[in-house]
Amino acid sequence: MDELQRYQPQPLGQEVVQFEGPVEDQSDSTMNLAAAILRRWPVLVATFVVVCAVGVPAIWFLVEKKYDTEGAIQISPVESPILFETEERLPNYQNFMNTQAQLFRRNNVLNQVADELADMDIVFFRDTGDLVLALREAILDGVIIIEPERNTELIKIKMTTQYPDQAEKVIDALIRAYKARAVTDEVKGEDQTLAILDEERRSLEDQKQRQRDELRQLAQEFGSTELTSRQEMMLQQVTSLRNELINVNIRRISLETQIQVQEGGLQEVATPGSLIERQNAIVNSDPIIQALTNSIMQYEELIVVGQQTMTPGNPELKQRREILKTLKERLGQRRKEVAQEFDKNFEAELAKNRDRRLAELKIQLAQTIEYEERIRAKLAQQDKDTIGMGRKQFVIDDKKDQLARTTARLEDTKKRIDQIRLESKRPSRISVAYGASSVPARGKRRKLAAALGFGGLALGALLALLLDKADKSLHDPKDVVRRVGVRIIGTTTSPKNVDKLLLGRQLADDYQAIRANLGLLDGGGASKIIVVTSPGIGDGKTTFAVNLATSFAQSGEKVLLIDGDLRKPDIAEMLNLPKGSRGLQDLLFGKEFAKLVYNTGAVGMDVLAADRRNVSDALDLLGKPRTGECIEQVSADYDHVIIDTPPVLAFSDALLWARMADGVILTSFVDRTSRLDLKEAIERLEQADAKILGTVVNNVKVTHSYHRYGYGYGYGHATEDDRKRESDARKRAETLLLTTEPKHETGHGSGS
């Protein structure tokens, strides 16, 4: 209370606090598990320490010291031939190495090892009757490990025992036995290979001689095995004949078309222009037409002269015109007769020419068909000869290829025989890389100790998760939203992790945010009569009620704070009110309100406190109809009435107060309030038809607070990182506002 009184009301600025708490996303499950483990970190540490304290000494003293014994055989994957400058690499070398590792289990190898170890007192095989069977079982059970090492030429034989000397004897015996058998098998294999290659060489020599004889017989007809030039000449002749045949076909088709035209009565007709010219020439050369034309010209001249010298009705002029008309009629008739005679003569001439032309075309067609048949016969024979020549050349080429392949195989076989005979004189490609040697087994105790440490951490984390799962209390505002499902009006900051000099300002900001949210809930005006309660004892409801009323009063509103907890009234003592200023019970019994209310001058709010009278009759007193009427009358003169009540789950008083109020605020306390109790309190209030505004979470860490970014901002305690971010922000602002004059701010930093 004193801390709040030190500060004047601060403007809310641009910040709008959300109604509801942050809703957890599914992707935060890992973070929730980590948070649960961190809350129970002492359990994790204690479990880890106990497990390590018990397990590490046990491992150190109970695990026996052992030795790793190892030997290796080298098998070269590449043999550099002595005779030829080539390299032959074994195909699938890794598979070959795996196969060689399996050959250590052969009976001849194990028998030789058993013979060598029979006279030695080997502790591993002391109680066995069949040493070969014991060796095979040791290999199968992994006591003796035989495996090729990747990316090397080594096959390693390993044993981990308490008897390094005897393990070295076993491994050396295995190496010697395998090497002896491998060298024997290699020599035997070379002899078998030489025998096969000699037989192959003789067979290839006989085959090569037969192929030479066949090729010689094929070449006797033409005296050469190269028939390509002859074949090209024949192909040229075939091409020439085909071209000639095409030309003859075109000629034949042309003649057949002309004959069809002639036989169909079609003929070449002169063009209209030339026909008319011929007709006009014959017509104009006719003597009668020429005479009539001259007479017409004379009479036309006479008429022209008469028209100039005679009157239009002169008989002689009229006679001239009639004679001219008669002459023109005779000229037209004569032209028609001459044209008809021309047409008759022209058709007769055409018929004669058509018959003559048809006879000529038929003779040419017969000659063309005969010539075409001769060309076709010659072309067929030429095609046959050309194909035969090509087939013979193909057979010769095939025989050449067979002879070349046989010769190459024969040369390769001889080369391989010479190489094997020379390589048989060189040392074996299998050698001992290094004999068996032993070193202390490294890292087994450390590995077990490390595994034990990780197991201790895992067990501790599991115990921490189980304990956190069993814990039903609320740990941060997210738990309220996620597990209870009620809206969060705001939070109040825990004093444990806040600078004492800034605690008052932080709390003032918290309550300003709560006031803002209450105003937003009612669309601009907070509920007038507000009941503050909690699920159980110690959830900070009374402190919250006093601070909320104080915050409203400091903002300039008229506020009445009522101590409605008749069973445990604390507000009077918390505010150090005089003894005679505790009169809620008197108000309910009918006394005048003005004489009972107390005004706190510094804070500027009225307080209606209570005392410990009528504790046993509290429920009956609050249940009277007059109680609600009194509160309604009193609230008329105030902007807000804040009523502190008993816990919901402890007594039913809070339910009676809730019916009189416009809204109810439930307070909860981090790490103290149970989410089950909070749910039950909500259910009881809902059953009483109370309007639940939401909950306020008390004792919240700054990092979980709704006002966490405001802590330290503008309070004079900014960190180096804050100052650096502020400097960068100023630089960005100056860059964006080049034309803006700088402004100087005064007072406290404002929200951005």
Model pLDDT for residues 246-302, shown as the tens digit of each residue: 998 898 888 888 888 877 765 555 556 677 777 778 777 888 888 888 888 888 888
**pLDDT score, position 2:** 42
**pLDDT score, position 84:** 46
**pLDDT score, position 4:** 40
Say how far apart CA 257 and CA 243 lie, in whole Å: 21
Q: Picking from 216-220, 422-426, 692-696, which range would have the lowest pLDDT averaged per residue?
A: 422-426
pLDDT in tens, 723-732: 454 455 444 3
pLDDT band, residue 559 (cuts 50/70/90): very high
pLDDT band, residue 710 (cuts 50/70/90): very low
In this predicted structure, the answer to whether residue 733 has a pLDDT above a threshold of 60 is no
Q: In the chain, where are the structural domains located?
A: 2-18+487-721, 33-65+442-470, 228-423
Q: Comparing C-alpha atoms, which of 693, 747, 702, 683 is closest to residue 548? A: 693
CA distances to 20, 110, 349 from 399, in Å: 96, 55, 75
SS3 707: coil
Helices and strands of the chain, counted as H and E runs:
22, 14
pLDDT band, residue 740 (cuts 50/70/90): very low
The neighbour count for residue 57, using CB atoms within 10 Å, is 11
Q: Answer yes or no: are the C-beta atoms of 489 and 514 closer than 8 Å.
A: yes
**pLDDT score, position 477:** 65
Which pTM was predicted?
A: 0.42
pLDDT in tens, 99-132: 888 888 888 888 888 888 887 878 777 777 788 8
Q: Comparing C-alpha atoms, which of 530, 486, 492 is closest to residue 664? A: 530
SS3 664: strand
Fold classification of 2-18+487-721 is Rossmann fold (3.40.50)
Q: Which residue has the higher pLDDT, 21 or 444?
A: 444
Q: Answer yes or no: are the C-beta atoms of 306 and 314 closer than 8 Å.
A: yes
Say how far apart CA 727 and CA 724 lie, in whole Å: 5
Say how far apart CA 668 and CA 674 lie, in whole Å: 9
In this predicted structure, the answer to whether residue 454 has a pLDDT above a threshold of 90 is no
pLDDT in tens, 173-220: 888 888 888 777 766 666 677 788 888 888 888 888 888 888 888 777
Q: Answer yes or no: are the C-beta atoms of 685 and 678 closer than 8 Å.
A: no
Q: Answer yes or no: are the C-beta atoms of 701 and 494 closer than 8 Å.
A: yes
pLDDT band, residue 83 (cuts 50/70/90): very low
Q: Answer yes or no: are the C-beta atoms of 403 and 206 closer than 8 Å.
A: no
